[in-house]
Structure 1
Amino acid sequence: MYTKANLAALRVKKDIAELSQHRLNATHASTSIDFPDGTRNLLKLKVGVSMTAGLFEGATFYFILTIPPSYPFHAPTVVCTSRAWHPNIDLHTGLVSLPILTKDWRPVLSINTVVFALQLMFIEPTEHYAVNKPAAAALSSNPDLFREQVRRSLAGGSLFGVQFESHRLAGVADGKGGGHGAAKRKRGFGESMDTEAVQTTLEAMRIQVRRR
């Protein structure tokens, strides 16, 4: 007889099979997926999100997805194990706050959807559903300050007494090295990242959910 955990694991296997065939990928983002506990625990995934352009270019962030036994009727819990300066990532616990993980979750959604949402989180940062209030305030009222804060965090600096690990070569914090000159510092959050295609994909996902 199957337990809830067994059924959740079966659904995870199905999700992973779909990921291997048709993984949703935002432009200039890539992902890696692993089971840190091996095949004995399919309800815990490690996801790496690497950005190749945009504000977080050159950075890789790792997340632990904990799948509840009631999956897919309840969403995974997502924790970022890499310290990140982002409105939707708790600076101290790493807990990720996104509507898709709470009020907008539906059983038709999948791990593929969650991974895609994590990519979009770095492509188009938003102050909505913020758990890092200082980051959200900077993004909302002073985007240039937010850009500088992100650059400082990725270069291994500190913000509000919190030390970050370096994702980039030395000199990035002042706009030198790594190809991040003044022109790139002025780039908008979604510029050159095929935002229209991203939004089209999101809308298609919303339509699918409504139809189900």
Structure 2
Amino acid sequence: MKLEMSNIAFTRLQRECKEVVTNTEIAQTGIMIEILNESLTDIKGQIRGPPDTPYAGGLFDLEIKIPDSYPFSPPKIKFVTKIWHPNVSSQTGVICLDILKDQWAASLTLRTVLLSIQALMCSPEPKDPQDAVVAKQYMENPALFKSTAEFWTVRFARGKSGENEDYKSRVEKLRDMGVREEEAISVLSCNNWDLNKATVYIFS
């Protein structure tokens, strides 16, 4: 038999959701949520890319699933919008953040979790990566990492900065070969935008 969420948890979640929805200070930091069902177990989060990062100007959607054991277990959160970041899987959107795992405490709230994810966007932790390929690029070639993350922000997160024409033309070349755009961007990014390597990877 499935355990229903307790009244205490439900009341607390209502309060937490209200806090994020009505607090103008939180809105200014670029964090929003949208409740998707009456039981408050499915929530859509959105984070605006922080200024002075490759994600600036982008809007990143998050899937938030609240377990029945909340607040004694952490919410399950992942990026729905694709993002190039050492602590987020570029394929699945899964986030590597200690408070979503073993450092969770019942005193934490949706607001603190979303602010922590936004802070992670400002200061990646490449030594504790979720995506080893991105982390390697971040540590070995920071400029390439930055331009790649900016390109992903423009393509996937409705970012406003100008698109990298060089990267764009390489994506087009793979698309002309019948490769889906998302796959083309992903494989090029993983191969440091080397078109030959990316082509070999896809077609071998």
What TM-score, normalized to structure 2?
0.70
Amino acid across the alignment from 1:129: D
Partner of residue 10, structure 1: 11
Root-mean-square deviation over aligned CA pairs: 2.5
Worse-matched range after superposition: 119-128 or 76-85 = 119-128
Partner of residue 159, structure 2: 168
Partner of residue 56, structure 2: 57
The verdict on how the C-alpha distance between 1:136 and 1:24 changes in structure 2, with shifts beyond 3 A counting, is: farther
Q: Secondary structure at the match of 2:62?
A: strand
Q: CA deviation at 1:16?
A: 2.1
Q: What's the CA shift string for 1:145-173, capped at 9, x where partnerless? A: 211211222232xxxxxxxx262357332
Runs of 4+ in 1 over 4 A off after TM superposition: 20-26
Partner of residue 183, structure 1: none
Q: Secondary structure at the match of 1:155?
A: helix
Partner of residue 47, structure 1: 45
Q: Is residue 32–residue 46 contact of structure 2 (8 Å, CA) maintained in 1?
A: yes
Q: Aligned partners of 2:25 and 2:145: how far apart in 1?
A: 28
What TM-score, normalized to structure 1?
0.67
Q: Which structure features the higher share of helix residues?
A: 2
The verdict on how the C-alpha distance between 1:41 and 1:125 changes in structure 2, with shifts beyond 3 A counting, is: same
Q: Secondary structure at the match of 1:14?
A: helix
Q: Is residue 50–residue 122 contact of structure 2 (8 Å, CA) maintained in 1?
A: no
Partner of residue 32, structure 2: 32
Task: Report the number of matched residues.
Answer: 162
Q: CA deviation at 1:113?
A: 0.9
Unpaired runs of at least 5, structure 2: 167-204
Q: CA deviation at 1:81?
A: 0.7
Q: What's the CA shift string for 1:173-208, capped at 9, x where partnerless? A: 259xxxxxxxxxxxxxxxxxxxxxxxxxxxxxxxxx
Q: Secondary structure at the match of 2:45?
A: strand
Amino acid across the alignment from 1:171: G
Higher radius of gyration, 1 or 2:
2
Q: What's the CA shift string for 1:92-124, capped at 9, x where partnerless? A: 221112001011111111111111112112122
Unpaired runs of at least 5, structure 1: 157-164, 176-212
